[in-house]
């Protein structure tokens, strides 16, 4: 290192008289590393529509009616639509050296997730839900259409709208993007670029065996069947396959918690889509289960949890 450079570093307090690294120099190196690296972790999202709130309310009401006085059951008047971008206005700053874009912040402000002093208690609640909720993959036909145009290398939001403008209205594309991000299959970056997550890449591969035009290529019920079959099957390490003996299918049905009819229908669909073979989970079925694991990998955050 040139003497002039050493002199400058010593004058800044980064190096000592003998050229040794001082604490300020260590902090400067760490700051440079963080600035050089991309923001760590995934800015997770949580997307809740009014219709979904209504369903949750009905379920809650039914439980309360069965256990207490109907006049005392709670209401959900304070719940309203919570969009994925609005929640990301809170989860993005939880990553090191990352910030949301202005549109996300304005949505969060409109939906009551942030105030003048930062995230509201409501906002922190939904941000924590986004980071802790257990996710299962679910794709409708048009969500699958949107997901299928997103390559592994990434794409911009404007390109997605342009590719699908003749097939889907803009609101459906936006709805699908929010749902895909809430399920941790894609990430919309602050600059408008869209990339697949690790879970998304795996699911992309698993869906290659699904026939074109399938209405619901993957559902939570299909996943429950695959998880139960895997649990009751035998892993053959050399072949990297899980084989299921016929006598174990009945036990898999029991632990899945599904009715006989629902289990049989889901198993039939899983075979049609290539997730299950004659007596084994296929490679695509195993990739689908691995995608579920990736969807639920804990997110490292740098904040202190609050109570609600």
pLDDT in tens, 259-300: 999 999 999 999 999 999 888 899 999 999 999 999 988 765
Number of residues written out for the chain: 308
- Residue 123, domain member (yes or no): yes
* Residue where a domain stops, chosen among 209, 240, 260: 209
* Overall domain count for the chain: 3
Query: Which pLDDT does position 247 carry in this prediction?
Result: 85
Is residue 215 a part of any domain in this protein?
no
Q: Are residues 83 and 120 in the same domain?
A: yes
What is the spatial distance between Cα 185 and Cα 198, in angstroms, rounded to a whole number? 8
Each residue's pLDDT tens digit, 210-239:
887 788 899 999 999 999 999 998 777 666
- Please state, in angstroms and rounded to a whole number, the distance separating the CA atoms of residues 246 and 244: 6
- Provide the CATH number for the domain around residue 263: 1.10.10
Q: In what order do the strands lie in the sheet with 186-188?
A: 155-156, 193-196, 186-188
Question: 73, 103, 132: which is the final residue of a domain?
Answer: 132
Tell me the residue range of the domain where 283 lies. 220-295
Provide the 3-class DSSP secondary structure of residue 292: helix
| Residues sharing a CB contact under 8 Å with residue 93, sequence separation 6 or more, in sequence order | 99, 100
pLDDT tens per residue, range 159-195:
999 999 999 999 999 999 999 998 899 999 888 899 9
- What residues have CB less than 8 Å from 43, skipping those under 6 apart? 88, 91, 92, 94, 95, 98, 100, 187
Tokens of 120: 């509201």
Q: From the centroid of its chain, how far is CA 32?
A: 30
């Amino acid at each position: 290192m040139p003497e002039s450079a050493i002199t400058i570093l010593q004058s800044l307090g980064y190096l000592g008289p003998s050229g040794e690294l001082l604490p300020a120099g260590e902090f400067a190196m760490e700051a440079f590393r963080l600035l050089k690296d991309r923001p760590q972790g995934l800015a997770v999202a949580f997307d809740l529509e009014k219709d979904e709130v209504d369903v949750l309310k009905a379920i809650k009401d039914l439980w309360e009616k069965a256990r207490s006085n109907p006049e005392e059951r709670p209401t959900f008047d304070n719940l309203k639509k919570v969009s994925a971008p609005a929640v990301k206005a809170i989860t993005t700053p939880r990553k090191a050296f990352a910030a949301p874009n202005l549109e996300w912040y304005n949505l969060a402000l409109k939906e009551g997730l942030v105030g003048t002093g930062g995230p509201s208690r409501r906002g922190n609640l939904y941000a924590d839900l986004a980071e802790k909720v257990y996710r299962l993959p679910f794709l409708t036909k048009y969500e699958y259409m949107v997901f299928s145009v997103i390559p592994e290398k990434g794409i911009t939001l404007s390109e997605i709208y342009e590719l699908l403008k003749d097939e889907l209205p803009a609101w459906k594309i936006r709805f699908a993007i929010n749902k895909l991000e809430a399920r941790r299959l894609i990430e919309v970056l602050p600059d408008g670029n869209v990339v697949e997550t690790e879970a998304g890449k795996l699911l992309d591969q698993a869906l290659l065996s699904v026939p074109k035009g399938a209405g619901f290529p993957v559902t939570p019920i299909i996943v429950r069947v695959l998880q139960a079959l895997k649990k009751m099957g035998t892993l053959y390490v050399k072949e990297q396959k899980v084989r299921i003996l016929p006598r174990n299918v009945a036990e898999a049905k029991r632990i899945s918690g599904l009715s006989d009819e629902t289990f049989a229908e889901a198993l039939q669909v899983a075979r049609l889509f290539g997730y299950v073979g004659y007596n084994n989970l296929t490679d695509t079925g195993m990739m689908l289960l691995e995608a579920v694991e990736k969807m639920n990998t804990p997110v490292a955050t740098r904040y202190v949890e609050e109570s609600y």
